[in-house]
Amino acid sequence: MPAPREPLVWNERYATGVEAIDEQHMILVHTLNEAATKLAEDASVEHLDRITQDLLAYALYHFETEESLMQEYGYEESSAEEAAIHLAQHRSFSSKVVAVREGIKAGNPITPDELLAFLDNWLINHILNTDQRLGAFIRERQAAG
């Protein structure tokens, strides 16, 4: 038996130093914890459907925020490869959640444990690596005026 999920706790290592990004990441951390609590109470298909729908909507909104910052600061021009990797990770997350939602609709729902393990791992990895690199780039640009 895997250990039960521990709530995610915001950690200074997660901070990118870019306010808009960090605020939304904190909301995402909170959203995943809330999803875990809600799914522990009710893991019905309807509930899974609602939770994954809300989560996807917020994730897409958040990706748009980061991607407009990339545009604003010329990330693609300066770091084409890194920008492409970043966008691909956002797309791959969205596709995965869409596939999970299709599974739910098709009567083949993901288990809450599996869903939360995917979400936790993806978010923390993405924040600690890909978003940190974007944050460092934006801060450098901001400092350069």
131 binds Fe ion (CB under 5 A): yes
The Cα–Cα gap between 87 and 66 comes to 10
**Contact criterion met (CB below 8 Å) for 132 and 86:** no
| Piece in contact with Fe ion (CB under 5 A), picked from 29-37, 47-55, 59-67, 92-100 | 59-67
CB of 144 to Fe ion, least distance (A): 22
**66-105: contacts with Fe ion (CB under 5 A):** 66
**Contact criterion met (CB below 8 Å) for 49 and 108:** no
Smaller CB separation from Fe ion, 44 or 125:
125
16 binds Fe ion (CB under 5 A): no
Contacts of 78 (CB under 8 A, 6+ apart): 137
Chain mean position to CA 97: 11
CB of 28 to Fe ion, least distance (A): 10
Residues that bind Fe ion (CB under 5 A): 66, 131
